[in-house]
Amino acid sequence: MGENDDADIIEHHVEEEMEKRGARSHAASSSSFPESVTPSDRDREGHSGTQSSHRLLAYSDALISIIATVMILPVAHTKVEDNEELRQSVQLLLTTKIAVYLMTFMIVTVAWAAHIRLFQVIVRIDDCLALLNLACMMLITFLPYTFSLMATFPENVLGILLFCGCVMVIGVIQCLIVLYAFSRPFLLNEQIQISEHQTFYREHILKVIMRVPLMCFIASIFSFIFFQLSYALLAIVIFLPYISQSLKWCRNKAIGQVEETPDSMMFYTYLPNEPLSKERVEAFSDGVYAIVATLLILDICEDNVPDPSVVEKQFGGSLVAALQVYGPEFLAYFGSFATVGLLWFTHHSLFLHVTKTTRFMGLLNTFSLAFVGGLPLAYQLTHEFPDNSRNELEAIQISCVIIFFAGIFQLAIWVVALYSEQETLHPYVRYGGREHVFMLAKLALYPCVALGTFFLTCILSKFSAPIFHLMEITVPFAFLLLRLLVRIGLALLRLIFCPDRPDTRSIVVEEDETRVPFNALVT
Amino acid sequence: MGENDDADIIEHHVEEEMEKRGARSHAASSSSFPESVTPSDRDREGHSGTQSSHRLLAYSDALISIIATVMILPVAHTKVEDNEELRQSVQLLLTTKIAVYLMTFMIVTVAWAAHIRLFQVIVRIDDCLALLNLACMMLITFLPYTFSLMATFPENVLGILLFCGCVMVIGVIQCLIVLYAFSRPFLLNEQIQISEHQTFYREHILKVIMRVPLMCFIASIFSFIFFQLSYALLAIVIFLPYISQSLKWCRNKAIGQVEETPDSMMFYTYLPNEPLSKERVEAFSDGVYAIVATLLILDICEDNVPDPSVVEKQFGGSLVAALQVYGPEFLAYFGSFATVGLLWFTHHSLFLHVTKTTRFMGLLNTFSLAFVGGLPLAYQLTHEFPDNSRNELEAIQISCVIIFFAGIFQLAIWVVALYSEQETLHPYVRYGGREHVFMLAKLALYPCVALGTFFLTCILSKFSAPIFHLMEITVPFAFLLLRLLVRIGLALLRLIFCPDRPDTRSIVVEEDETRVPFNALVT
C-alpha cells in the first residue's frame, strides 16, 4: 500500500468525518481509541501497549453477570412432583439450591464490587494486566462450583478449603495487579497519578484487598478444628464492610460529621454514598436481564422439540397435535420474556435519569437483579402443573412475589436517589420535575400489578396460568398508555384543585433557568 | 429537599468535578445522559422522552449474541457412546444438530446485521421505539426454536410456516419502527435529518426491509405446494444480499468504479466496505466470548456435584476420592476457559487498533465467532472418552480444528484491514508500523499452536487429553513472553541483515511525524 498520496489522505479524512456524522453519535466509538493514542502517550517510549480499559471491563461485567445468574438453572431444573410423599425431600433440596443461588449471587456481586473499586483506581491497562484480569475471572467463575460443594456437603472441609483457596488466589492476583499498576503510574487514575501520597494509597488499597484472603486463610485453618466457625468467618468476610460502614454512617449521621482526611477517603471507603461506576452497573444489569431472557428459550429448544418417532406413534404423524402439548410452555415463554423485557425497560428508563450511582443504590440494584434471576424458576413452575391445581396457584403466587420484589427494589433505587436528588438525579425527574410523576408511575406499575394479582389469587383461590401469562403479555400496552393516562390524570387534578394557578411545571422551568447561569459561573 | 442553598450547589458541583476526575475517564458515562438533554432538545416541547439509544443497543447485542451461541448446547449435550453400533445414528444426529447450530448462528447474525443497519439510521429512541425493539427481540430469540423444528421435521410444513411467520412479523415491526422514526425526524441520524431526500430514504429503507418478509411470504405459500422450493427460497433470502453485492463489487473492481449517487449509497448498501458500527461488533463479540466461557462452568455445576448417598456408598464417604473421578473435567474446564479468554484477548488487541469496521470484516468476525461457539463441544468431547482411545485422539483433533479456524479468521480480519489500512487501521499497526510485527505474532500464535498440535497428533497417533489441556493452560505464558521474543527476534534480524542502517522503526516515526501536521491542516 505504498501509493498513498495526498489525495488519498484527504479522501480518508473526509470519509472519517462523514462516518462520524453518519454513524451513531455515541461518544464511546470515537473515544475508545483516541484515549490510547493521546500525544502524551506517544512521548512515553515503550508504553505503546497501553490501552483503554473500557472493553476489558465490559467483558468482565458480562462474565460476572452470567455467572451470577446461571446458578438459577439447577434450581429451575429440579423436578417438583405432584406427589405428597416426595414433596418434603424435594422441597428441602429446592430450598438448599435456592440458598446456593442467592449466596452465589451475593458472593459474585461482592467480587464484582471489588473489581469495580480496583478498576476505578486503575483506569488504563496493558497486555499484562489484561491477562492477570482474565486469570482473576477464571477463578471467579469457579466460585459457584465450590459453593455448590459446600451446600451439598456442609460438613466436609473440602468445599471450604476450595472456596478459601480460590478467594486467596484471587486476592493474590489482585495484589499483583495493584503492585504492577503502581509500578507504572501512567496506568493509574489521574488523581492518584498527580497525588503526593501514592505510596500511602498503595498501602491502603493493598491492606483492604488483603483483608479478605487473610480471613479466608484463618477460616481454612479453623475448618480442620471446628468447621462451623469457618462458616461464621466467611459470612463475616462478606458482610463486614457493609455492616461496619453502615454502623459508621449511622453514627456519623447521628452525632454529626466526623470527616476523615478527604485524601484517604476517595477510594476504598465502603461508604454508602461512595460512587460506583454507573456504566458498569448498567452493563452488569444488562447482562443479567439478557441471560435471564435467553435461559427461557434455551430450555424450550432443548426440551420441546418432540422426537419424530413419538410424533409418528402417539399423534399419528401430526406435528401440530404434538406441539399442542407444549402450548402452555410457549405462552409461558412469551409472558416471561415480556416481563423480563419490561423490567429491563423500567431499569433503563430509571438509569437514564440517574446521574451518579452510589454504593447503596448498587446494593438495591443487586437485590432487584437477584429476584429477576429467579424468573426462570417462576417460568418453570407456572407451566409445570395441571390446570387449576393447588400447585398452579402457588406457582402463580411465587411468580407474583418474585416480580413484586424485582419491581419494588427498582422503586427503592429511585426513592434513594430522590433522597439526595441534587447529586444523583437529573432535574427533569427531581421532585416537582417534568417527568417526576411519569417515572413514578412507570416504576410503580409492576409492583402494583404483581400485588394486585397476588391478592386476586388469594381471593379467587383459583387462577389459571394461561390467564396469568396473557396478563404478562398485555402489560406492555399499559406502558404505552401510561404517558397518556398520567397526563390526563395530572390535567384533571390540576383542573379540579387549582384551575387558575399557573401549573407547577412552569415554576420548575423557571427555577431551572435561574440555576443555569449560576452553574455556568461555578464551572 | 427544599433547603438547598447556594453552598449546597457549589458542593455538588465540586463533587461532580472530583467524581469526573476520580471515576474511569470513559466518555460514555458522562455522555450517555447529556446527549438527551442538549438545549436543542429542551426547546422541543413534548419530546422529553427522547433518549440515547446506546444502552438499548447494548442490551440487544447481549440478547442476540447469547441466542446465537446457546444453540451449541444441544450439540454438546448429545452423548457420544463408545459403541460402534450406535455410532452411526448418533453421528447423524450430531451432524444435524451442528447444522442447526451453524444455520442458527448465521440467521441470527443476519438479523443482527439488519438491526445494526436500522439503528445506524435511527440514532435516538423514545419509549415507543424501545418497546417495539423489545418485541422484535422476542421474536428473534424464538427463531432458533423454529429452526430446530425444521431440522427435526424437514418434510413438515409447520417449521417453515413458523419460521416465515416470525420473520414476517419481525419485518412488519421493523417497518413500524422506520415509519415511526421518520414521522419524528429528531430521532434520525443527523445526516438524514438535514437531507432533502428524506422521503426517498424512507422508501429505500422500507423497500430493503420488506424484501425479506415478502420472500418469506412466497416461501410459506410454496411450502404447501412443493416444500423443497421453500427451503431454496429461504436460503436465497439469507444469502442474496451477500451474493449479489459480492458480484456487483467484483464487477465494479473489474470494469472500474460505477458509482451510484452517493446520496443513496450511505445506508443499506450491502457493500463489503459499508461501515458497521465497531462498538456493536465488539459488544456482540464480547457477548459470545462471555457466554461460551460460562457455558462450561454451568455444565460443571450441574453435573459434577456428586450425590451425598453415592459418595457414602461408593467412596466410603471420601469426597476427595469422589471428586477425583471428575479430575479431567476440571482440567478441561480451566484449559477451555484459558483458550476462550485468550481468543477474546487477541480479538480485543486487534479491535483496539481497528479504527473502522467494514461489513466484510464483520462477516469474517462472525465466522470466527461461530467457531468460538463450538468450543463447548470441544470441551465436552475431550473429557468424555477413556484415555488413549481412538475417540480421544479424534476429539483433540476436532478441538484443534475449531481453535485453528477461530484464530485464522481473526487473522483474516487483520489481513483484510491491512488491505485498506489507510481507512481501517491505526498507524501503529499498519505495515511497517511500530506494533505491526507484534500484532501479527499475537494473531498467529493460536493458529500455529493448533496446527502444530494437530500434526503432532497425526504423527504420534496418540496424545493424552490432560496433556492437551495443560498445553492450553500454558499458552498465556507464551503471550506474556511474546513481546520479549518478538523484540529479540527483530533485534537479531536487524543485527544480521543490516547492522549499520537505521532501523525501520525510526523511519516509521519520521513518516508519522510528517503526516501529523498535514492531518492537522486538513481537519
CB–CB contact A58 B283 (8 Å): yes
Q: Decide which of B507 and A489 is more confident.
A: A489
pLDDT digits (tens, 9 = 90+) for A354-371: 888 888 888 889 899 999
Residue B408 has pLDDT above 90, yes or no: yes
- Identify the pLDDT of residue A523: 32
**A290, B287: Cβ pair inside 8 Å?**
yes
pLDDT, tens only, B244-270: 777 777 777 777 655 444 444 455 666
The confidence score (pLDDT) of residue A409 equals 93
Lowest average pLDDT, out of A76-80, A474-478, B113-117, goes to A76-80
pLDDT averaged over chain A? 75
- How high is the pLDDT of residue A23? 38
Q: Which segment of A135-149, B332-346, B440-454, B467-481 scores lowest on mean pLDDT?
A: B467-481
What's the gap in Å between the CA of A461 and the closest CA on chain B?
32
Q: With 60 as the cut, is the pLDDT of residue A515 above it?
A: no
Chain B contact for A343, CB < 8 A? Answer: no
Question: Is the pLDDT score of A147 beyond 50?
Answer: yes
Q: Examine the pLDDT at A19 and tell me if it is beyond 60.
A: no
Mean pLDDT of chain B: 75
In this prediction, residue B41 has a pLDDT band, given cuts at 50, 70 and 90, of very low
What is the rounded CA–CA span in Å between residue A36 and residue A47?
10
Instruction: Single out the residue of A371, A104, A145, A64 nearest to residue A238, CA to CA.
Output: A104
CB of A294 closer than 8 Å to CB of B63: yes
Q: What pLDDT is recorded for position A406?
A: 92
Residues 217-246 of chain B with CB under 8 A from chain A are: none
Choice between A99 and A57, residue whose per-residue pLDDT is larger:
A57
Q: Does A323 touch chain B (CB under 8 A)?
A: yes
Residues of A in contact with B37 (CB under 8 A): 426, 428
pLDDT band at B513 (very low <50, low <70, confident <90, very high): very low
pLDDT of amino acid B481: 81
Contacts of B25 in chain A (CB under 8 A): 35, 123, 190
How far is Cα B409 from Cα B285, in angstroms, rounded to an integer? 13
Higher pLDDT, B393 or B39: B393
Q: Is B27's CB within 8 Å of A31's CB?
A: yes
Distance CA A402, CA A68 (A): 17
User: Quick one: which of B2, A137, B18 has its CA closest to B10?
Assistant: B18
Provide the pLDDT confidence category of residue B369 given band limits of 50, 70 and 90.
Answer: very high
Q: Which of B3-12, B254-263, B356-365, B371-380 bottoms out in mean pLDDT, i.e. has the lowest?
A: B3-12
B130 to chain A: which residues are within 8 Å by CB? Answer: 345, 348
* pLDDT value of residue B39: 37
Higher pLDDT, A414 or A2: A414
Own/partner contacts of B227-236, CB < 8 Å, gap of 24 or more, are B227/B155, B227/B157, B227/B160, B230/B157, B230/B160, B231/B160, B234/B160, B234/B163, B234/B164
Question: CA B115, B121, B126, B128: dihedral to nearest 10 degrees?
Answer: -50
Q: Residue B386's pLDDT band (boundaries 50, 70, 90)?
A: low
A28 to B54: CB separation less than 8 angstroms, yes or no: yes
pLDDT of residue A85: 58
Give the pLDDT band of residue B271 (cuts 50, 70, 90).
low
Instruction: With a cut of 70, say whether residue B512 has pLDDT above it.
Output: no
User: In three state form, how does the secondary structure of B361-399 look?
Assistant: HHHHHHHHHHHHCCHHHHHHHHCCCCCCCHHHHHHHHHH
Mutate to test the interface with B, among A42, A66, A67 (most CBs of B within 10 A): A66
Section B233-237 average pLDDT:
78
At residue B86 the predicted structure's pLDDT band, cuts being 50, 70 and 90, is: low
pLDDT tens profile B426-453 = 777 777 777 788 888 888 888 988 888 8
Which has more confidence, A385 or B447? B447
Residue B75 has pLDDT above 60, yes or no: yes
Query: According to the per-residue pLDDT averaged within each range, which of A102-106, B400-404, B439-443, B457-461 is highest?
Result: B400-404
Which residue does chain B place closest to A334, by CA atoms?
B138
Span B199-204, average pLDDT = 83
> Mean of the pLDDT values across residues B74-100?
69
Average of pLDDT values for A38-44?
A: 38
Signed CA dihedral, B124, B128, B130, B135: sign only: negative
pLDDT grade for B30, boundaries at 50, 70 and 90: very low
Lowest mean pLDDT among A64-73, A109-118, A353-362, B301-310: B301-310
Smallest CA–CA distance from A117 into chain B, residue: B23
Which pLDDT band, with edges at 50, 70 and 90, does B409 fall under? very high
Q: What is the mean pLDDT of residues A394-415?
A: 89
Give the ipTM of the model, two decimals please.
0.79
Q: At what angle do helices A465-497 and A436-460 cross, to 10 degrees?
A: 130
Taking the Cβ of residue A289 and every Cβ of chain B, the question of whether any pair is shorter than 8 Å is answered with yes
What is the enclosing helix (H) or strand (E) of B47?
none
| Position A31 pLDDT exceeds 50 | no
| Mean per-residue pLDDT, A141-162 | 82
Per-residue DSSP letter, A358: E
pLDDT in the model for residue A5 = 38
Q: Is residue A193 less than 8 Å (CB to CB) from chain B? A: no
In the predicted model, what is the mean pLDDT of residues B91-107?
79
Mean pLDDT for the stretch of residues A90-107? 78
B105 or A96, higher pLDDT: B105
Report chain A residues whose CB lies below 8 A from the CB of B137.
293, 341
pLDDT at A33: 37
In sequence order, what DSSP letters do the residues of B255-323 get, joined into one string?
A: H------HHHHSSS---TT-EE-HHHHHHHHHHHHHHHHHHHHHHHHHHSS--HHHHHHHSTT-HHHHH
Question: Is A281's pLDDT higher than 50?
Answer: yes
Rounded Cα–Cα distance for residues B30 and B14 (Å): 16
User: What is the per-residue pLDDT for A504?
Assistant: 46
Percent of chain A clearing pLDDT 90 (strictly above): 5
Of the pLDDT bands very low, low, confident and very high (cuts 50, 70, 90), residue A44 is very low
Look at A81-95, A109-123, A478-492, B91-105 and tell me which has the smallest mean pLDDT: A81-95
In the predicted model, what is the mean pLDDT of residues A369-388? 79
* B519: contact with A, CB 8 A cutoff: yes
Residue A67 sits at the chain B interface (C-beta within 8 Å): yes
Q: Considering only residues 82 to 141 of chain B, which have any Cβ-Cβ distance to chain A shorter than 8 Å?
A: 119-120, 123, 127-128, 130-131, 134-135, 137-138, 141
A interface mutation test: which of B1, B6, B14, B24 has the most A CBs within 10 A? Answer: B24
